[in-house]
């Protein structure tokens, strides 16, 4: 699931993942994964508190 998310985000950003990609490009994908995972966790927590 996480790997799929990585490739979906890379496609959205127009980033070709791999060793030939810049660390900035790869990092932008990693940062977006983190942001989305935090959003998912927060929404789950909100749902369980109700």
> From first to last of its 50 residues, what are the pLDDT tens digits of the chain?
899 999 999 999 999 998 898 999 999 999 999 999 999 999 999 988 76
In a domain, 4, yes or no: no
Alpha helices in 1-50 (DSSP H): 2-13, 23-49
In a domain, 33, yes or no: yes
Instruction: Return the pLDDT at 40.
Output: 95
Determine if the pTM surpasses 0.85.
Answer: no
Instruction: Return the pLDDT at 47.
Output: 87
Which range of residues forms the domain containing residue 45?
24-49
Q: Determine contact, residues 13/32, Cβ cutoff 8 Å.
A: yes
For residue 10, give every residue at least 6 positions away whose Cβ sits within 8 Å of its Cβ, in sequence order, or none: 16, 17, 29
Place of tokens 């990585």: 6
Please count the structural domains in the chain: 1
In a domain, 32, yes or no: yes
In a domain, 19, yes or no: no
Label residue 21 exposed, middle or buried (CB < 10 Å: 0-12, 13-18, 19+): middle
């Amino acid at each position: 699931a996480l790997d799929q998310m990585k490739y979906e985000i890379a496609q959205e950003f127009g980033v070709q993942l791999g060793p030939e990609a810049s660390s900035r490009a790869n990092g932008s994908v990693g940062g977006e994964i983190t942001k989305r995972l935090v959003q998912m966790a927060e929404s789950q927590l909100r749902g369980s508190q109700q």
